[in-house]
């Protein structure tokens, strides 16, 4: 025992003697809390509770509940898919000196970006001990060929979300939305302007790859740990600046970015395929408070690059007249 230990104990704002003899008010508060808690359904862990802290982070799952009604699909699924995609765009270059490994990585990313068709799979894994409902896995699979695309989100989390969202396709500027065994087609070009407000790109290939290129360009300290395998660190502040809104990137950056530690580092790993193109990009973030309560990583897989992915328009799609939805409210703004 040291003098310093004694001083630290003396600095205890609630000394043990005060804990062992609580006030009448504190005892009454404890009894009231007990009654409140034991009246709640112990199995309703995912439900909002007055005891729960307010939602602290956005979850892409909240915007992507599976099997919505057709009307909601238009404003929900398509918007969600578009919102997912928007994160890839609107980026700015950050110049800086790069290592040879970083330069090789950037070159591979730019070549990958040039592919005219392919499949991009984004998987977000979240582990959150505190807000357990946020924990889960979310996967966005997008096939693209030129300006055509198909996208589907598969989500499962502790809150009970389990399953795939309806698929969305864009073929020759016509939007197709899946609902059960039925496909709906929206030929009205106003839908594109509507989706444009959510950031649906007119050039899917360029826009989807640009975010990945931008992220890799941040990693100017990259080293090649093995042939075709690169590791680097980027700061949460950098990721937030470049990719806020990107599924996973924004979540990871925000949750690992304490105000007084903007340089908190996140791990970036990049794997190239045998053709020297990007195979996998992984960004990992852990709780900046280092309590182990939160961890998330996002993995982006590129497959079938320039392999001639075919995006077909569904047969017998039922054409939707947008003016019949919501009294035209979709275009009020």
Partner 1 sequence: MSISEFAPPVTSADQRVERFRSVYDSSYPDIEAYCRRRLGSDRSADAVSETFLTAWRRFDDVPADRSARLWLFGVARRVVANQVRTTSRQDKLHLRLVEQPTTQQPGADVMADSMLEQSPFIQALAMLSPDDAEVLRLVAWEELSHADAGVVLDCTANAVGVRMHRARQRLADALAQIPNQIDQTSPLTNEQNHD
- Interface ranges with partner 1 (CB under 8 A): 1-5, 7-9, 11-14, 16, 18-20, 22-23, 26, 29-30, 33-34, 36-38, 40, 42-45, 49, 51-54, 56-57, 129-131, 255, 257-260, 287-293
State the DSSP H helix or E strand holding residue 145, giving kind and residue range, or none if neither: strand 136-145
* Min separation Cβ 287 and partner 1, Å: 8
Range 193-198 contact pairs with CB under 8 angstroms and sequence separation of 24 or more: 194/330, 194/331, 195/78, 195/79, 195/82, 197/333, 198/78, 198/79, 198/82, 198/83, 198/86
Specify whether the CB–CB gap between 250 and 87 falls below 8 A: yes
Give one DSSP letter per residue of 171-199, joined into a string: ETTEEEEEETTEEEEE--THHHHHHHHHT
Q: Closer to partner 1 by CB, 2 or 97: give it.
A: 2
Q: Closer to partner 1 by CB, 33 or 310: give it.
A: 33
Q: Closer to partner 1 by CB, 12 or 225: give it.
A: 12
| SS3 state at 318 | strand
* Min separation Cβ 224 and partner 1, Å: 32
* Min separation Cβ 256 and partner 1, Å: 10
The gap from C-alpha 93 to its chain's centroid, in whole angstroms, comes to 21
Residue 54 Cα distances to 50, 58, 131, 287, angstroms: 9, 11, 10, 18
Residues 6+ apart with CB under 8 A from 58: 250, 251
* Min separation Cβ 252 and partner 1, Å: 14
Q: Closer to partner 1 by CB, 55 or 163: give it.
A: 55
Q: Closer to partner 1 by CB, 16 or 180: give it.
A: 16
Range 180-187 contact pairs with CB under 8 angstroms and sequence separation of 24 or more: 180/67, 182/318, 183/314, 183/316, 183/317, 183/318, 184/70, 184/73, 184/317, 184/318, 184/319, 184/320, 185/313, 185/314, 185/317, 185/318, 185/319, 185/320, 186/74, 186/319, 186/320, 186/322, 187/319
* Min separation Cβ 62 and partner 1, Å: 16
Tokens coding 297: 């990583």
Instruction: Tell me the pairing of strands 318-319 and 182-186.
Output: parallel
* Min separation Cβ 327 and partner 1, Å: 39
DSSP letter, residue 55: P
* Min separation Cβ 293 and partner 1, Å: 5
* Min separation Cβ 5 and partner 1, Å: 6
Tokens coding 150: 């198909």
* Min separation Cβ 115 and partner 1, Å: 39
| SS3 state at 333 | coil
């Amino acid at each position: 025992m040291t003098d310093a230990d004694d001083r630290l104990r003396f600095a205890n704002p609630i000394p043990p003697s005060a804990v062992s003899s609580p006030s009448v008010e504190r005892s009454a508060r404890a009894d009231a809390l007990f009654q409140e808690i034991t009246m709640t359904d112990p199995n309703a862990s995912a439900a909002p509770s007055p005891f729960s802290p307010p939602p602290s982070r956005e979850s892409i799952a909240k915007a992507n509940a599976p099997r919505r009604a057709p009307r909601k699909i238009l404003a929900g699924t398509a918007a969600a898919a578009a919102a997912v995609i928007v994160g890839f765009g609107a980026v700015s270059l950050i110049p800086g000196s790069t290592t040879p490994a970083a330069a090789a990585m950037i070159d591979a990313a730019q070549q990958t970006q040039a592919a005219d068709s392919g499949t991009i799979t984004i998987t977000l894994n979240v582990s959150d001990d505190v807000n357990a409902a946020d924990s889960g896995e979310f996967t966005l699979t997008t096939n693209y060929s030129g300006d055509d695309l198909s996208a589907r989100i598969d989500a499962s989390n502790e809150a009970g979300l389990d399953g795939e969202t309806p698929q969305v396709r864009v073929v020759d500027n016509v939007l197709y939305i899946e609902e059960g065994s039925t496909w709906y087609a929206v030929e009205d070009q106003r839908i594109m302007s509507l989706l444009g407000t959510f950031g649906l790109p007119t050039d899917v290939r360029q826009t989807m790859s640009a975010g990945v290129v931008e992220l890799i360009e941040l990693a100017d300290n990259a080293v090649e740990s093995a042939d075709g395998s690169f590791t680097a660190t980027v700061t949460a502040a950098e990721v937030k600046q470049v990719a806020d809104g990107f599924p996973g990137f924004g979540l990871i950056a925000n949750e690992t970015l304490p105000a007084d530690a903007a340089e908190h580092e996140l791990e970036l790993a990049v794997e190239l395929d045998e053709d020297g193109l990007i195979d996998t990009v992984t960004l990992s973030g852990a709780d900046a408070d280092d309590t182990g309560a939160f961890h998330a990583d996002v993995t982006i897989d590129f497959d079938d690059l320039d392999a001639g992915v075919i995006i077909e328009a569904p047969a017998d799609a039922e054409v939707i007249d947008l003016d019949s939805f919501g009294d035209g409210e979709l275009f009020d703004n």
